[in-house]
Every structure is written in structure tokens, then in C-alpha cells.
Amino acid sequence: MTSVVYDGTYEGWLTAVFDIYEYKLDDVVFAKGEQAAAFLFGTRHEVTTEDRKAKRVLKGLQQRLSSTALKNINLTFLSEIDYSEDIMLRFVRYAFSSGVNVEQDLANRLVWEVWEAARRVRKEAHRMEAFVRFKLTKDDLYDPLYYAVIEPQCDVLPLISDHFKNRYADQRWLIYDLKRKYGIYYDLEMLNTVEVQFSDKLGSAQIKAELCDEREEHFQNLWCRYFGAVNIEARKNLRLQMKHMPKRYWKYLTEKMPDYHRS
């Protein structure tokens, strides 16, 4: 068994695939930089991310697959499900070994797993386009900023930032992924990936009040009242609500927060 250690980026993974073919590595286990220490047994292969190698792999795949299938491999990477890298590798090996385009061979596990993982990521990206809730900061220190915090299961920020850029072209905004500790910031011109140090005290009501625009609380309150007013009690169906809006997302939904948690 060979541990293939790469830097955790998509380019790094593509480079790893190049190396796997180059050195004819068999029976591999992927490990990202920091987890690498855990693999004490077996041989170890260090991958140095190289644009040239990554591009070669991509080009080879482009000759065999449609752009949708290529995208699906990338989405599987973002899914962060268990063994996602192995699922990707199995599919890539199958694609390279076949003379025809195999991406529609859905009855085959090797193809199906990538398809499923990609579907899962698309679904969550769509959900995040819906469930982001911006709050407006005060404008006395900096220019006003609409900020939101999310904790999605998959790494969907790269997939949704264009949507928000097109939609909120005239406001500064920041969406921060607390789970992965990075955010996307739009400065009215372009998108920037940022790392922000959030104070531990951010949760406290006092800090929030100092941070937020004076009308912010009013609109949050209006939204919650609206949310309550459009419900039809005679049709109550909590199961249906939960199906569309699983509880794991409620933490950052203004309308689902307990009152004291809001600004």
C-alpha cells in the first residue's frame, strides 16, 4: 500500500493522479498534508503540485469525457464525503482504460458514485443559495457590509459565489464558511477569498448590537413576523418542512433562531 500525500487542493489531487500513472502506483491511499503523519505503515509518496502535470491529466480526461463529467469529478472533490478521492480515482481509471466515453454507464458503480456525489454537492449549493442570510453592519467605521456565516457539509462556496456576485452587484458582501475557515468577499469589483479572525465573543448580543446597522434588527424582526404570518396552521406539516429545510441549516436561518440569538 502506498500513501499518496498531496496538499489538499484539486490541482494537487490531479498532480497525484499524474504521479500514480507515472510511477505505476497501485493500491493507493490518499492523504492530505496534515493528516499524513497518521499513516505510519506502507510506502509513502509525496506529491509536489505542478500545474503542468495537473493540466496533462485534465487534457487526457477532456479527450474522453464531456465537460459535465469533468465538472462532476471536481464536484466529487468538493463533496468531502468519505473516500471521495478514491471514488474519483476509480472513475478516472475507468475512463482512461476505456476506448469510449463511459460517463453514461450509470449501472456501473464506478460511474454512479461520482454522479451521486456530484448530485449531492449541486443540491447543497442550491440550498446555500437559498439559506444564506445577510446581516448589515454599521457604516461608521467601514463601508456597510452584508455578511453571512454558513457551515455546509460540502465545500460549496466556490460554486455559489458567482450567483451572489451577479445578484448583489451593488452591495459589499462576505459569506464565511465557519467549518472550513475561509470566506468569499465581494468588494463591488471582484471576488476575493479571505480568511477572517472572528472574535469568540461574536455570539454575544452586545458585540452584535455594536456591529449591526440600526435598522438591521428591525428587518430581522419583520422577516420573522412575516415567516410566522404566512404559515397556514390548518395545513401544518412539520415533516414536509424538515424535508425541504433540514434542521442542520437552522442555526444560521434568521427566521429559525431563538429571539435572543438574533442581533
Partner 1 sequence: MVNDRVTQKLEILAGAAKYDVSCSSGQGNRENKNKGLGDSKANGICHSFTEDGRCVALLKILLTNHCIFDCAYCVSRKSNDVKRAAFTVDEVVDLTISFYRRNYIEGLFLSSGIFYSPDYTMERLVKIVKKLRKEQNFNGYIHLKAIPGASEELIKEAGLYADRLSVNVEMPTEQSLKLLAPDKNHQDVIKPMEYLKNEIAGHKEETKLNKRAPVFAPAGQSTQMVIGATKESDLEILGMADYFYQQMKLKRVYYSGYVPISYDGRLPAIGTPVPMIRENRLYQADWLVRYYGFHVNELVGFDQPNLELDIDPKLSWALRNLHQFPLDINIADIELINRVPGIGFLGAKKIVAARKFKTLKPEDLKQMGIVYNRAKYFLSVSNPFSAHKDYTAIQIKERIQNLQNSKYKSDFSPQLTLF
With CB under 8 A as the contact rule, the residue among 229, 247, 248, 258 that binds partner 1 is 229
Shortest spacing between CB 226 and partner 1, in angstroms: 5
**Please, how many CA atoms are within 13 Å of residue 128, restricted to the half-sphere of its CB?**
26
Whichever of 66 and 192 has its CB closer to partner 1, that residue is 66
Residue 251 binds partner 1, judged by CB under 8 A: no
Which one, of 150, 186, 194, 145, lies nearest residue 169 by Cα?
186
| Helices then strands, each counted (H, E), the chain | 9, 8
Given its phi and psi angles, is residue 48 left (phi above 0), alpha (psi -120 to 50 degrees) or beta?
beta
DSSP output for 177-238: ETTTTEEEEE-SS-EEEE-----GGGGSHHHHHHHB-TTHHHHHHHHHHHHHHT--GGG--H
With CB under 8 A as the contact rule, the residue among 107, 142, 195, 199 that binds partner 1 is 107
Residue 167 binds partner 1, judged by CB under 8 A: yes
Helix/strand/coil percent split, the chain, to 5: 55, 15, 30
Whichever of 60 and 144 has its CB closer to partner 1, that residue is 144
Residue 202 binds partner 1, judged by CB under 8 A: no
Interacting positions 205-224 with partner 1 (CB under 8 A): 215, 218-219, 221-223
CB 111 within 8 A of CB 97: no
Shortest spacing between CB 121 and partner 1, in angstroms: 16
Shortest spacing between CB 210 and partner 1, in angstroms: 19
With CB under 8 A as the contact rule, the residue among 43, 104, 192, 204 that binds partner 1 is 104
CB 64 within 8 A of CB 101: yes
With CB under 8 A as the contact rule, the residue among 66, 196, 241, 251 that binds partner 1 is 241
Interacting positions 172-191 with partner 1 (CB under 8 A): none
Radius of gyration (Cα) for the chain, nearest Å?
Answer: 22
Interacting positions 73-102 with partner 1 (CB under 8 A): 102
Shortest spacing between CB 65 and partner 1, in angstroms: 14
With CB under 8 A as the contact rule, the residue among 38, 40, 169, 190 that binds partner 1 is 169
